[in-house]
Structure 1
């Protein structure tokens, strides 16, 4: 390895390093076109997806017109628990996106026409790494971290869970009709949490941004009941 002009040794380059692979996946995802969630057509395969808000709710207006996703997710082709070969002809990613479209349309104040979706089909080996890259780049991704509950599985049986922040802000989903009210935040506190999360996500990367994110994550929440 040849020293640089100032006598220091250059950093070691690893073409398969995690950081470089993550950047490649994120940049490829960002190059994919955004299409209307309402009009997305069936396609085969698994991979990554991101939802972008373009509706008129005042609480999300800072996100409207930006390229900052409101939610990112993944769908794998196979079951890693068994090591079975995946069936790449199955529309695993499309089905996952369709589940979200149905969930959004059940609410009282959202519609699939309020969203664009961007997706990237991938082999399973790259999916988890790609999702992590998207979450790190756009953090805090609002519906993944600040407004939890959107992508969660429905509670089983007769469980009486507290309603998530997401279902509190967007009531109407069938799965949430029997849930109790949120135990940690008042409506005003939820709105403040959301606005602060959006502001941080739209701030350029810097040590100050990292500090703001740390403070947001560590913001105490007291049980209301």
Structure 2
């Protein structure tokens, strides 16, 4: 597992010292979080307040086996106390942080190949002023956080129920949530390709912080993929789904129990489907690096 954080590996600097800079904040918040005991996700009891949290896996699912005995989180998130349009202070007695974690417990329990009993959580109750910046700092400290950046969709809000909504990467690897039951396969990757992406991300997560790790992560993020399918452009007269990899499209949807009528899609030049991660549609990715809002 990583032996130090990005802040600890930074070279000497002769500029002004900023005690609230992201590097120092990352180091302090990571230390504060890791000083907290891990609590079983199934045993977590309601508590008041808002703040930050991290989820850890300790089960025996092969894809996450290398993380199960580490302090590398699968997901980092936040819950804010909320703001008043009149400038009144937020109600810090509401269980905002607990409610957010409990929502994730439900998602994990709905997945066919996960169990909430295989997860632990750490959390830190904070004032709202620190929460957004603090989440960014933790994501930087642990980067890449698997379910925030590479297997996205876990913490995103429930999307609309349009027939052409794609499954997120997370729902592709962990099917079972009712919200995704009728969604088409992921637009960009097949399940096997998602698994490969996850394994590569875990390998980066376990590297020592430094230039080699930074380059490995940058290389993974620059990777280009051949889209499975896409929506038609606004200027297209033919409004059917555009399929770039027909065999994968049919196989993936069949595996999820989704029947797509033959006249609902059309095959096209596969070269049109080559995209890089930087331009993945948000609907494909689910939530962004900032976790859920």
What is the TM-score normalised by the length of structure 1? 0.91
- Whether contact under 8 Å (1:163, 1:180) holds in the other structure is yes
User: Match of 2:9?
Assistant: none
- Whether contact under 8 Å (1:35, 1:116) holds in the other structure is yes
SS in 2 for 1:21: helix
SS in 2 for 1:193: helix
Mapped partners of 2:161, 2:182: distance in 1: 11
1:191 Cα offset (Å): 1.1
From the superposition, tell whether residues 82 and 168 of structure 1 become closer, same or farther in structure 2 (CA, over 3 Å).
Answer: farther
Gap regions ≥5 residues in structure 1: 1-8
User: Match of 2:28?
Assistant: 24
Matched positions, count: 217
User: Match of 1:180?
Assistant: 184
2:118 to 114, 130, 145: 114
User: Match of 1:123?
Assistant: 127
1:82 Cα offset (Å): 6.4
- Whether contact under 8 Å (1:44, 1:91) holds in the other structure is yes
- Whether contact under 8 Å (2:27, 2:141) holds in the other structure is no
1:164 to 146, 157, 168: 168
1:94 to 94, 98, 119: 98
What is the TM-score normalised by the length of structure 2? 0.71
User: Match of 2:252?
Assistant: none
- Whether contact under 8 Å (2:84, 2:90) holds in the other structure is no
Mapped partners of 1:81, 1:221: distance in 2: 44
User: Match of 1:37?
Assistant: 41
- Whether contact under 8 Å (1:78, 1:84) holds in the other structure is no
Mapped partners of 2:223, 2:52: distance in 1: 30
- Whether contact under 8 Å (2:163, 2:184) holds in the other structure is no
1:10 Cα offset (Å): 5.6
Mapped partners of 2:100, 2:88: distance in 1: 20
SS in 1 for 2:67: coil
Mapped partners of 2:176, 2:25: distance in 1: 40
- Whether contact under 8 Å (2:79, 2:97) holds in the other structure is yes
Alignment of 1:205-224 (within 5 A): 205-224=209-228
Mapped partners of 1:81, 1:108: distance in 2: 42
From the superposition, tell whether residues 151 and 82 of structure 1 become closer, same or farther in structure 2 (CA, over 3 Å).
Answer: farther
Gap regions ≥5 residues in structure 2: 1-12, 230-293
